[in-house]
Each structure stands twice: as structure tokens, then as C-alpha cells.
Structure 1
Amino acid sequence: MPAPAPTNRVRDVIEPVVSAAGLHLEELEVTRVGARTVVSVVLDLHEDETGGLSLDRIAEVSRDISTALDDVIPGESTLEVSSPGVSRPLTERRHFARARGRLLTVRLHDGEPVTGRLVSVEGEGPATVLHVVPEPVSVKGRKPVAAPPQDITLDRVRDAHVEVELARLAHGSDAELFGEDLDEDTGTDDVDDLDVDDLEPDGSGTDAADPDAGAPAPEES
């Protein structure tokens, strides 16, 4: 049984491909499942962009990654490419930058949790400042009371996540943020003779016309 390619070697091959596609390599994991090597890749937009990755872009870069790994992965392999999704914990500055304009819940090391709209992100490192406008607090029989805006430094944040807003979801604004993935199963003879060939000629997935249908389940061969 051939040994799986080291993660660092796979990263060296994948990063230029992802960078050329204008994307950020968020996570990479190389594991062995039986005789098959599984390469799991999580991609994201750069921090100066908002919104989520479309299935079309994931499908396109998946083709390029699959080709790049042709001579790197020995034996049978599965390539799993996905985006982080709305449930991703916000742990880095870039995560918050990507969440500008979104409703967040932020738990602090030194205070009560804050639920509010992230207006902007300024600074670098632990001193990064999150400008948050808290959601109005509803009191029975009274009008909602708006709390003053808060400036929260990143070093005070214990954990944070994006809140799913039903109104945005109903209009499709949040649908793309749940994350989409494309799995490709490869054999020993022809890396391109896989699910990647099920893509349409324009590089989009067969489900591209309905991005809200959800991510496809992994397929193994």
C-alpha cells in the first residue's frame, strides 16, 4: 500500500492553484481511509470580499486542484473541496472581516455576550477592533431599546459566530453561506475520469442552477 502524500507537499501543490483562482486556502487535511487517500480542502474568499463561494467557483477550482494532484497522490484518492459555511466559528481577523455586515453573537472573556451587527473591522493582530451595533432589546409592553455601539478588541473575544437571519435566508442572501462542496473520487489510472467529468462544459456543477439545493453527499468508488 503506497504511503499518503505528506500534507506539506500537497499544500505546496495546491496553494498556487488556489491563489491563481483568487481564493484563500482555509484548511487542508490529508488522511487515509482504507486504501484510499482523502484530501479535504476548505476554500474561502479573501477577507476584502463579502458573500459566499458559489458552486460554480468551487467546481472550477476543483478541476484545477485535481489536475495538480495527478502526480502527487499515489494510488486511489478522493478530493473533497468545500467552503466554510455560515456555522464556522470566527477565530481570526480575516473571519470577522469576511463577516462585515452580518449579525453576530460574540462571547467575551470579560463581559456579557453581545449580539449585534458587525459594521467594520479595523487594525491588526490582537488589537483589531470590531465595531458592533447591538440588536435592540425588546421589553414586553415597550418599544425595543437600542444599546450603544460597542468597540470590541479581538483579544477580548472568547468565541463568535454568525447568526442565521431568516429574512435573509428567505431571500437567498444566506443560502450560499452554508457552504458547498464537491467531491472527486480518483483511481490509479486517470485522475480526470471522475465526478469532475460530471461538470457541465462551462465548469459548473450539475446542481449549479439550484445553489440552494444543498451540498452533495460524498460519493466513493
Structure 2
Amino acid sequence: MSTTQNERLRGLLEPLVAEFELDLEDVELETVGRKRILRVVVDSADGVDLDACAELSRAVSDTLDAPEHRTVMGDAPYELEVGSPGAERPLKEPRHFERALGRLMRARLTKDAGGDEIVARILAVDAEGLDTEVQGIKGRKSKPRRVAFAEIERARVEVEFNRKQDENETMGEEA
């Protein structure tokens, strides 16, 4: 998708998505064979449920099909997909890290920060970066590590299937 079209779509959809109290995370227009697919990815601090995606999908479709906005997508047909970032969501903005508080992340650090890949639990987030607990390798203990946002090349949530419960947690409830 051209930068101009991406900017026009983002500019048109961001206020609409905000009306639903959601954050517009990504807009992607992909051509697959003869059809075009417009993917709109949204999120919120409380997550996004299927009903919210369905309501937003109808609103986005109505907006893009309105006569005053038809030039944004043109006359060619397209398929619209509205969804959330998913379980292994990318972490790009400070709000993404805040939403992942307590979760594991896998991050590739910049060359200036050593270029390592780390798996760490996000313990705290502030304006400059993260306090993390880097997972020990092969039975070694975890270590605290401060990671500045500027040191992170890319990061995503790491799915945990066998997370041990904290002393203060019982069956999904906090004490």
C-alpha cells in the first residue's frame, strides 16, 4: 500500500476507531491475486472482543463505502478484516508494553545494546523503558534488567502455556 493511501486510510479510520474507545494499531491493504484485503487491527487496555470487532467492521465498511470517502479505496472491490493483534502481539508503543505488564516478551535488542535476543518478564513500564526479569537459561536464576525503549529493535509477547502461579494468585484471581 502506498504511504499516501496508508496515511489517508489511517487518517479516516483513527477517529472512527477512537469512537469505539479502541486504538488503531495497524492498517494494511494487501493485493492477493485479483482481490484486495484491507486489514484493520485494533486494541484497547481491556482487550477487544468479537462483538466489538463486528460492530467496528460494520462502521468501517459504512465509512469507506460512503460517497464522500469512496476515493480512499477506489471502486475496486475489497475484503475487510477487523481484528485484534493476537496472542503473540508485537510490542511497539509504550502502551503495548503497559498492556503486557506481567507477561513474557521476546525482544531483539539494537546493536548498540548488544544485539542480543532476550526473553524477559515485564515488571514495570515508565516513560523511558522497562524493568524486566530476564529468564535464566538451563536452570540459571532470572536476573533483573532495565531496558530502555531506544534499545529495543523489535519485541513481541511470548505465549506461556505453563506459567507458574504467583503466591498472590489463585485460579486467576488476585488476593
The verdict on a shared fold, with TM-score over 0.5 as the criterion, is: yes
- The structural deviation recorded for 1:155 is 1.6
Which ranges of 4 or more aligned residues in structure 1 deviate by more than 6 Å? none
Name 1:84's counterpart in structure 2.
Answer: 85
Other structure's SS at 2:162 match: helix
Q: Distance in 2 between matches of 1:167 and 1:94?
A: 26
2:19 counterpart of 1:20: yes
- The structural deviation recorded for 1:163 is 1.5
Amino acid at match of 1:133: E
Q: Distance in 1 between matches of 2:83 and 2:99?
A: 16
Identity of aligned residues (%): 36
Are the counterparts in 2 of residues 121 and 131 from structure 1 also a CA contact under 8 Å?
yes
**Cα pair distance change 1:148/1:29, threshold 3 Å:** closer
**Cα pair distance change 1:114/1:75, threshold 3 Å:** closer
**Cα pair distance change 1:163/1:9, threshold 3 Å:** closer
Name 1:10's counterpart in structure 2.
Answer: 9
Q: Distance in 2 between matches of 1:37 and 1:137?
A: 45
Are the counterparts in 1 of residues 136 and 143 from structure 2 also a CA contact under 8 Å?
no
**61, 68, 79: which one pairs with 2:56?**
61
Name 1:132's counterpart in structure 2.
Answer: 132
Q: Deviations over 1:138-165 (max 9, x none)?
A: 53xxxxx533422111122233222211
Q: Distance in 1 between matches of 2:43 and 2:155?
A: 18
2:120 counterpart of 1:116: yes
Give the TM-score normalised by the residue count of structure 1: 0.58
**Cα pair distance change 1:159/1:55, threshold 3 Å:** same
Aligned length: 152
Name 1:204's counterpart in structure 2.
Answer: none
Name 1:105's counterpart in structure 2.
Answer: 106
Amino acid at match of 1:167: N
- The structural deviation recorded for 1:36 is 4.5
Are the counterparts in 1 of residues 27 and 38 from structure 2 also a CA contact under 8 Å?
yes
Q: Give the number of the structure whose residues are more often strand, by fraction.
A: 2
Are the counterparts in 2 of residues 35 and 76 from structure 1 also a CA contact under 8 Å?
no
Are the counterparts in 2 of residues 100 and 120 from structure 1 also a CA contact under 8 Å?
yes
- The structural deviation recorded for 1:22 is 0.6
Structure 1 vs Structure 2 CA RMSD: 2.7
Unaligned runs of 5+ in 1: 140-144, 174-221
Are the counterparts in 1 of residues 30 and 38 from structure 2 also a CA contact under 8 Å?
yes
Q: Distance in 2 between matches of 1:24 and 1:159?
A: 20
- The structural deviation recorded for 1:137 is 5.0
Other structure's SS at 1:94 match: helix
- Whose relative contact order is higher, 1 or 2, with alpha carbons under 8 Å and at least 6 apart? 1
Unaligned runs of 5+ in 2: 164-171
Are the counterparts in 1 of residues 40 and 81 from structure 2 also a CA contact under 8 Å?
yes
- The structural deviation recorded for 1:136 is 4.9
